[in-house]
A and B are shown apart, each in its own frame.
Chain A
Amino acid sequence: MKEATLRFNLTFGLGGMAALLVVAQVVTGLLLKFHYEPSPENAYNSIMNLQDSLLFGKMLRNIHHWSAIGLLWIVFLHMLRVAFTGAYRKPRHATWIFGLVLLILVVLSNFTGYLLPWDQLSYWAVTISTSLLAYVPLIGDPIREALLGGKEVGQATLTNFFNLHTGVIPLLLVALMAYHFWRVRKAGGVIVAEKDKDGAMVDTRPHLVNREFVVAVALLAFLFIVSSLFDGPLRERANPSFSPNPAKAPWYFMGLQELLIHFHPFFAIVVFPLTVLIAACWLPYIRLEDKNQGIWFLSDKGIRSAKFSLASGVVFTVLFIGFSELLPDPELLLPSVTSLITKGLIPFAILAATLYFFLQYIVRKFSLNRSEIIQSVIIIMIVSYTVLTLTGIFFRGAGMNLMWPWQV
């Protein structure tokens, strides 16, 4: 393997960390399965019992919980690393696409697992998230009912989710991970800068193996420490006729729930996510002339424009949320015009135009090439979703009204 790929701050070992956490989840998950009962009557009790009566039971559940959150973060950061080192270009384009599929599987795995404790947090988070699906035209309702096994969250939902979480998704993950790793080797390993392409080669054993081992052990140690200090949440038993106030989706969907407050559901649930998904799939196929892959943020201009885009993204999103809050409700101002336009098409068009003019501006300011423009777009999308997510989690309280975090 190329010696240049051993450098820690090339990849931060994120891919390896992700693989390790998947293994950790499978192991802890299999152990939990000996104790967990997938029925609305017994699920909650089986977890209470595991935590309180079994030695290391609480620890096991905590490891599974924190590993799940860690995995989501790490695959996300891994995706960012790949994006910002330009490692999605040919011949790594298929690896990127399959990586996206893996990301979706990890999110689904987290989501299906979220329901299993059957407490107030799980039940309502899943109720809301699946209700979001119903806003997708034509196919939304049938998909929602197939997933729930009925019209509402119930025993059938738990059966479906348990099967997906412990059977279908792990199998798919293992198969696709194997293919993903194979593709990485086929492309010649991790990406390196043009100047290092024909650099020195070293043996994988001991050089890579030792480094991966150290990272793995460090990550496991960190995971165990966190799991022994902080407990996974378990609220009161699920009560289908009583929603907590506020009722929030899992934290990684909070950006979507926040977006729903500002936009018509069709735009928040279909247009925005679809746009992002199509853009992500299209990314590896854009023709790029420069040879800056393998370098973080591609170049010096890249770094400066990235910082500028980050700051602008934060400012614009915060301003957007503020304006949206202060301006009168378009549905009250223009009740005759459908909210699909007043709270959908029009704000969407305004955002698209703002993005377009912003990009024009930074291209001239920094004289950016195409890869760097793409980088800025990625940063803006991620930053705005992050701001929306943070707002949804920390700044929305009872009735989903905007308030300071200490009032939530």
Chain B
Amino acid sequence: MKKRVKKTDGNRESGRRDFLKKAWMIIGAVAAAELAFFFISLLKPSKELKKSKPGSTVRIIGNIDDFIPGTVTPDRINKLFIVRESDGGFLALSLICPHLGCSVLWDDTKKQFDCPCHSSAFDRYGVVLNSPAPRPLDYFPVNLEAGKVKVDVSQKAKRRKFETSQMTYAI
């Protein structure tokens, strides 16, 4: 088959062709970028679903007087423990082990949290006693209002160590 020879006298022709080629490629790249953006935002967890009921993430765990000082009470529905210190302070700890996500259990005889998956252990402030947990148990800020213990479950916070500011005291 005879090879088609490119017209050399058509400088304006090939210039236009090159320009159009480039333009198509740029448009194609923009389309690909838009598709990628759409795909990624499809995969992102829907923020709208979470915002639909603004007040619902604040949960009432119980009455302040229900929690005896010096005890640890589990709340399996909200996935946390309420630790009430002997001086009356509240600390809400997540029951999710920071190692690989298993649910920790409170051992009242040893006074520590134990993870059934890889034997991580935490003291009553959630500080790591035994590896492989890489950091202390996450905590939730506690709000004491009208005699009730309230926890905003969307405010789970990581920490490097325990600080007394993480505890909440009734006025």
Contacts and interface: CB of A to CB of B under 8 A. Distances in A.
B77 interface: yes
Interface of chain B, main secondary structure: loop
A400 interface: yes
A131 B119 contact: no
Interface residues of A, number: 33
B132 A261 contact: yes
Interface of A: 124, 127-128, 130-132, 145-146, 148-152, 156, 160, 240-247, 260-261, 265, 329, 331, 339, 398-401
B101 interface: yes
B109 interface: no
Contacts of B103: 240-243
Interface stretch (B18-26, B40-48, B142-150): B40-48
B116 A246 contact: yes
Interface of B: 40, 43-46, 76-77, 79, 95-96, 99-103, 114-119, 131-132, 134
Contact of B102 (A128, A149, A265, A329): A128
B132 A243 contact: no
A243 B40 CA distance: 32
A306 to B, nearest CB: 35
Contacts of B132: 260-261, 265
B116 A241 contact: no
Nearest to B121: A399
Given A124-B102, A241-B95, A242-B76, A156 B45 contact: yes
Contacts of B79: 240-241
Contacts of B117: 128, 243, 245-247, 399-400
B102 A243 contact: yes
Contacts of B96: 152
Contacts of B101: 127-128, 130-131, 152
A40 to B, nearest CB: 15
Contacts of A128: 100-102, 117
Contacts of B134: 265
Contact of B119 (A130, A331, A400): A400
A124 B101 CA distance: 8
- Top 4 closest A-B pairs, CB basis? A245-B116, A241-B76, A243-B102, A131-B101
A387 to B, nearest CB: 19
Contacts of A124: 102
